[in-house]
Structure 1
Amino acid sequence: MEYGYCRISTPKQNIDRQVRNILQAYPNAKIYKEVYTGTKTTGRKKLEEIVKLARSGDTIIFDSVNRMSRNADEGVGLYMQLYDEGVNLVFIKEPHINTATYSKALSSAEGLSDTGNQIADEYIKATRNVLKILAENQIRLAFEQSQKEVDDLHRRTAEGIETARRNGKQIGQVAGRKLNVKKAKPAKEIIRKHNVSFGGTLNDSECITLAGISRNTYYKYKRELLAEMMQ
């Protein structure tokens, strides 16, 4: 059985890109969609459902490692739990940490045969351990990088708000003023649907023309959309 897990952090985000990427690689995958804000795997009902359903030989596909978890410790823990249960894990954007790759690394270590020579066998044993540690470090590094990206985004956002406040700029909407989103919403939908950064086919200049907005406005909307994806 193949399960595809797609998660977005806010209802404003578009989950279709993740679904499309998974189905392109695994057209028979059963897709589970989830809107969840947070970093922990605990409380992700759809992911918990897949984990309970998955059996040895089944496959769980994620568009990216940060869809499984942005918390390194919990992500690695869940990865190892599922690996030990014989469940295959696939990360489309980080194939170097797929369980098939990890299993191959461990197999190469286990394939080192004992020689009967005590000193040589000690070296072989140490080599096996080193190869296993290196493979596990690659997995942890991927989850740590995902967590760092989110932490850095939150830090930059906080610093930007503080800088703007110190420069006397208005933070947030002025009380009593209505926010005009009539132009922003359709423009963002065009960017999300057609720009190459979100799985589309148009470059930035082509999207600017299609959306009918200024370059500065376009890049503002694009930054906001990318920030939403990282949440």
Structure 2
Amino acid sequence: MFLNKIYGYCRISTKSQSIERQIQNILKEYPGAKIYQEVFTGTTIERKEWTKLKKVIKPGDTIVFDSVSRMSRNADEGISEYMELLEKDINLIFLKEGYIDTEVYQEQLKANDNIQTDDTDLNETIMKGIREYLKRLATKQIRIAFEQSEKEVQDLRERTKEGLRVAQRNGSQVGRLKGDTFETKKAKEAKEKILKYSKHFGGYMQDTELLKEILNISRNSYYKYKKELQEAYARGELKIVKTKKEW
């Protein structure tokens, strides 16, 4: 017996953006989801990870998105993708726009299954009409969801720009000085544990063990911190003390 699978799809538009928030939002609700992620810009011809995901999904499987805007670049493309996957019996879940989840569409369809007459042809005509109505309604709701999502992004950009303009008018330093770095408390604590326990820095634990048993961070963050530590060591900024396994 094959179990239906849950996938998560995350997308960012520029390499300067962070995809981590999308991943964490999906894994928080669906810890077992297999994540597909990619950077997709207007200059990119094909969304390779999205294409891979569409090739492996089977009827009954589920794809989770942080937002409908992550499924595609615009409403027309999003509606096309939505309807194509719906026809293939793929469940679509949007964490920020749950009202357009395919489950909502299917529930509305089932609610009308009890509309029956003695005329089989009439029943078929009625159900065809209901399906068409719900399809149009879903299309309208998806377009509204895209427009709202795009407006939120634009509003955020405008607020950010206005904040920068205000700071500049007030003579404040905008951004960090060249060569200046900022490290969060969580990142600092994670690096300290990597230095203490990782075999690569004199500890006794493999990467997978360390991630599973000690750290509460994503794989991407782990390897990012590890790379930064290795680079700091290569520059002579980090001294590694060999330690014995703690009992």
Alignment partner of 1:2 is 2:6: yes
Alignment partner of 1:145 is 2:151: no
Structure 1 equivalent of residue 226 of structure 2: none
Confirm or deny: 8 A CA contact 1:112 1:128 kept in the other structure. Answer: no
Aligned residue for 1:31, secondary structure, equals strand
Q: Which amino acid aligns with 1:29?
A: A
Gaps of 5+ in 1: 191-231
Structure 1 equivalent of residue 111 of structure 2: 108
Aligned residue for 2:8, secondary structure, equals strand
1:162: Cα distance to partner? 8.6
- When the two chains are superposed, the root-mean-square deviation of aligned CA atoms in Å is 4.0
Return closer, same or farther for 1:42/1:25 CA change in 2, 3 Å cut-off. farther
1:67: Cα distance to partner? 1.9
Distance in 2, Cα, partners of 1:112 & 1:100: 20
- What number of residue pairs does the alignment pair up? 180
Q: Which amino acid aligns with 1:4?
A: G
Q: Which gives a bigger RCO, structure 1 or 2 (Cα 8 Å, sep 6+)?
A: 1
Distance in 1, Cα, partners of 2:33 & 2:126: 43
Confirm or deny: 8 A CA contact 2:7 2:33 kept in the other structure. Answer: yes
Structure 1 equivalent of residue 210 of structure 2: none
Q: Which amino acid aligns with 1:73?
A: D
Aligned pairs for 1:165-204 (under 5 A) are: 178=178, 180-181=180-181, 184-186=182-184
Judge which range, 43-52 or 144-153, deviates more: 144-153
Aligned pairs for 1:31-180 (under 5 A) are: 31-34=35-38, 36-38=39-41, 43-114=46-117, 129-154=132-157, 178=178, 180=180
Residue deviations 1:158-187 (CA, integer Å, cap 9, x gap): 78889999x7x89x89xxx84644xx4548
Distance in 1, Cα, partners of 2:144 & 2:117: 31
Gaps of 5+ in 2: 189-247
Distance in 1, Cα, partners of 2:130 & 2:9: 36
Structure ranking higher in helix proportion: 1
Structure 1 equivalent of residue 29 of structure 2: 25
1:146: Cα distance to partner? 1.7
Confirm or deny: 8 A CA contact 1:23 1:29 kept in the other structure. Answer: yes
Judge which range, 80-89 or 128-137, deviates more: 128-137
Distance in 2, Cα, partners of 1:135 & 1:102: 7
Confirm or deny: 8 A CA contact 2:109 2:130 kept in the other structure. Answer: no
Q: Which amino acid aligns with 1:13?
A: S
Q: TM-score, length-normalised on structure 1?
A: 0.58
Return closer, same or farther for 1:22/1:153 CA change in 2, 3 Å cut-off. closer
Q: Which amino acid aligns with 1:24?
A: K
Confirm or deny: 8 A CA contact 1:114 1:124 kept in the other structure. Answer: no
Identity rate, percent: 44
Confirm or deny: 8 A CA contact 2:40 2:47 kept in the other structure. Answer: no
Aligned residue for 2:11, secondary structure, equals strand
Distance in 1, Cα, partners of 2:64 & 2:162: 35
- Pair member with larger Rg: 2
Aligned residue for 2:31, secondary structure, equals coil
Confirm or deny: 8 A CA contact 1:62 1:90 kept in the other structure. Answer: yes
1:149: Cα distance to partner? 2.7
Aligned residue for 1:113, secondary structure, equals coil
